[in-house]
């Protein structure tokens, strides 16, 4: 029972991290109709900027607080210099150009920070374990990730549902031409949305860094899963991204935790232990395929 609870928390934590990455991706894809493969690079840059600022300030919290606006500025610059030119182009051009951005950022990091990865230590006040229930320890840092992730998700929900900018974002996701025709400064909106997406991706990178390492290409692996999430959730939908991220987080963790034992009930142990990793790795994609058959535009997708 304790293990089940911990595994669920692990799933929530993974899901929230994925949500932060997917939120920006779904906004840029849904509103700006932009396929941004370089979203993972912003995740990586966030982590490297945080590493630098943490080194300067000697404080994890301060470092992250400085790195967030820095990532925002970076996002705005990338949008203005490269991405803005891609809106009118088709998706293949966008994929090519943003793939080029991935290569650019990877080489930039190598030139500035070197080929070896960097390490961000868990802040001392979170380096212990907390007892979720009596006698059930859980990593304090992962617990903090859940708290921060939830707060950010609430903030984003408020932003999208209750503010004027959110209203424009939602309007943009449903009908981009119409809001431009109504006199909304679409260029400014796009810049802000891209910057916002960059901040969330950067924050995900910063928060993931102490669990793993800050390294070249760290965002490329995780980006695939983020795309799966926005496809399941429906492109352009923040709510969809959140629910899909939670779903993917739980499926991933539970596939890894319980599938081997489950398979052993009706397969030989040898077959089960060789089949389980393969199946649990496919599980997320199977779910995506299933959702697409059932709802071709994703769970909360609006456009076809």
Partner 1 sequence: MKGKLFGTATIAALATMSAGGLQPAMAQESLKIGFVSTFSGSQAAIGEDMRRSVDLAVEHLGGKIAGKKIEIVYEDDQFKPDVGKARSEKLVQQDKVSFVAGYIWSNVLLASYKTVTEEGDTILISSNAGPSQIAGEGCNKNFFSTSWQNDQTPMAMGDYLNSKGVKSLYVVGPNYAAGKDMLAGVKRSYKGTIAGEDYTKWPDQLDFSAELTKIAAAKPDGIFIFYPGAHGVQFVKQWVQAGLNKTVPLYQVFSIDAITLPQQGDLAIGTLGAQEWVNDLPNEQNKKYVADFKKKYNVYPSYYGAQSYDSIMLIASAAEALKGDLSNKDKVRAEMKKANFKSLRGDFKFGNNNFPVQNYYIQETVKDAAGMMTVKTIATAVTAGVDPYAAKCPMK
Q: Which of residues 200-239 bind partner 1 (CB under 8 A)?
A: 210-213, 215-218, 221-222, 224
Residue of 76, 82, 108, 122 interacting with partner 1 (CB under 8 A): 122
274 to each of 253, 264, 270, 287, how far by Cα in Å?
Answer: 18, 11, 6, 21
**Among positions 173, 179, 257, 288, the unique one binding partner 1 when judged by CB under 8 A:** 257
Return the HEC string of 76-114.
HHHHHHCHHHHCCCCHHHHHHHHHHHHHHHHHHHHHHHC
Member of 119, 185, 268, 271 binding partner 1 (CB under 8 A): 119
Closer residue to partner 1 (CB): 100 or 277: 277
Q: Which stretch binds partner 1 (CB under 8 A): 29-37, 54-62, 117-125, 180-188?
A: 117-125
Residues 6-25: x/- map of binding to partner 1 (CB under 8 A)?
A: xx--x--xx-----------
User: Torsion-angle region of residue 235: left (phi > 0), alpha (psi -120 to 50) or beta?
Assistant: beta
Query: Which residue(s) pair with 214 in the sheet?
Result: 118
Radius of gyration of the CA atoms of the chain, in A = 20
163 binding partner 1? (CB under 8 A): no
Member of 80, 256, 262, 279 binding partner 1 (CB under 8 A): 256
How many residues lie near partner 1 (CB under 8 A)? 45
Select from 256, 253, 234, 276 the least CA-distant residue to 17: 253
CB of residue 36 to partner 1, shortest distance in Å: 19
Q: Which is nearer to partner 1, 53 or 254 (CB)?
A: 254
| Rounded (10°) angle between helices 2-32 and 218-233 | 80
Give me the sign of the Cα torsion angle 97, 102, 105, 107: negative
In the shown chain, the binding pattern of residues 166 to 195 toward partner 1, with x for contact by CB under 8 A and - for none, equals ------------------------------
By beta-carbon proximity to partner 1, the closer residue of 124 and 296 is: 124
Closest CA to 12 of 217, 254, 198, 214: 254
Stretch that binds partner 1, among 76-84, 88-96, 119-127, 189-197 (CB under 8 A): 119-127
Given 24, 38, 66, 142, the residue binding partner 1 (CB under 8 A): 142
Question: Shortest gap between Cβ of 250 and partner 1 (angstroms)?
Answer: 11
Q: How far is the CB of 147 from partner 1 (least distance, A)?
A: 16
Binding-site member from 234, 260, 298, 301 for partner 1 (CB under 8 A): 260
- As a whole number of Å, the end-to-end CA separation of the chain is 43
* 153 touches 238 (CB < 8 A): no
> Which pair of tokens denotes residue 88?
């009118």
Contacts with partner 1 by CB under 8 A lie at 2-3, 6-7, 10, 13-14, 106, 110, 115-119, 121-122, 127-129, 137, 139, 141-142, 210-213, 215-218, 221-222, 224, 252-254, 256-257, 260, 273, 276-278, 281
């Amino acid at each position: 029972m304790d293990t089940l609870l911990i595994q669920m928390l692990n799933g929530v934590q993974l899901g929230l991290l994925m949500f932060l990455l997917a939120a920006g991706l779904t906004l840029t894809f849904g509103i700006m109709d932009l396929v941004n493969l370089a979203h993972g690079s912003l995740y990586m840059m966030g982590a490297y900027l945080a590493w630098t600022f943490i080194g300067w300030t000697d404080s994890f919290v301060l470092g992250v607080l400085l790195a967030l606006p820095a990532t925002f500025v970076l996002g705005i610059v990338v949008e203005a210099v490269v991405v803005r030119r891609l809106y009118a182009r088709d998706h293949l051009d966008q994929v090519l150009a943003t793939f080029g951005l991935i290569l650019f950022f990877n080489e930039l990091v190598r030139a500035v920070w070197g080929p070896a990865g960097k390490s961000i230590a868990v802040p001392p006040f979170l380096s212990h374990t907390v007892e979720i229930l009596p006698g059930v320890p859980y990593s304090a840092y992962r617990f903090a990730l859940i708290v921060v992730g939830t707060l950010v998700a609430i903030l984003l929900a408020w932003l999208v549902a209750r503010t004027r900018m959110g209203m424009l974002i939602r309007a943009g996701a449903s009908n981009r031409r119409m809001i431009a025709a109504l006199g909304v400064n679409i260029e400014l909106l796009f810049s802000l949305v891209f910057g916002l997406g960059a901040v969330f991706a950067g924050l995900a990178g910063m928060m993931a860094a102490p669990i793993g390492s800050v390294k070249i290409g760290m965002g490329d692996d995780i980006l695939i899963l983020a795309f799966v999430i926005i496809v399941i959730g429906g492109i352009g939908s923040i709510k969809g991204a959140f629910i899909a991220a939670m779903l993917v987080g739980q499926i991933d963790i539970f596939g890894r935790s319980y599938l081997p034992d489950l398979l052993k009930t009706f397969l030989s142990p040898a077959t089960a232990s060789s089949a389980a990793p393969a199946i649990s790795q496919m599980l997320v994609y199977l779910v995506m395929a299933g959702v697409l058959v059932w709802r071709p535009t994703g769970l909360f997708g609006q456009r076809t």
